[in-house]
Amino acid sequence: MSKAPSTKIDKVANHLIAKKKITSWEAIIRFRATRLADIIFNLRQEGWHINTEMVKKNQTRYAVYRLLSYPDKPKF
């Protein structure tokens, strides 16, 4: 991804490439993205392989999305 990220999908995609994982809270804080599940769905539709791990901590459940692989030439 050579261009600067302009959409929330671009920002989340770049974050996944760099950090390999993201949570909804991280997406909200970093990118003001409140619909991370939808962004992950769209990335998966484009061929990204992303694992969802449900974590329970202090009686709170949340998803951790982990990047497994992505297309050679991602659209985002």
Instruction: Give the CATH number, domain containing residue 33.
Output: 1.10.10
Rounded to whole angstroms, the Cα distance separating 17 from 49 reads 12
Q: What is the pLDDT of residues 18-28, one digit of tens each?
A: 999 999 999 99
Q: pTM for this structure?
A: 0.87
With respect to residue 1, please indicate whether it lies within any of the assigned structural domains: no
Q: How many domains does the chain have?
A: 1
Rounded to whole angstroms, the Cα distance separating 60 from 39 reads 22
With respect to residue 48, please indicate whether it lies within any of the assigned structural domains: yes
Which amino acid is located at 18 in the chain? A
The yes-or-no verdict on residue 41 having pLDDT over 60 is: yes
With respect to residue 3, please indicate whether it lies within any of the assigned structural domains: no
The per-residue pLDDT for 43 is 97
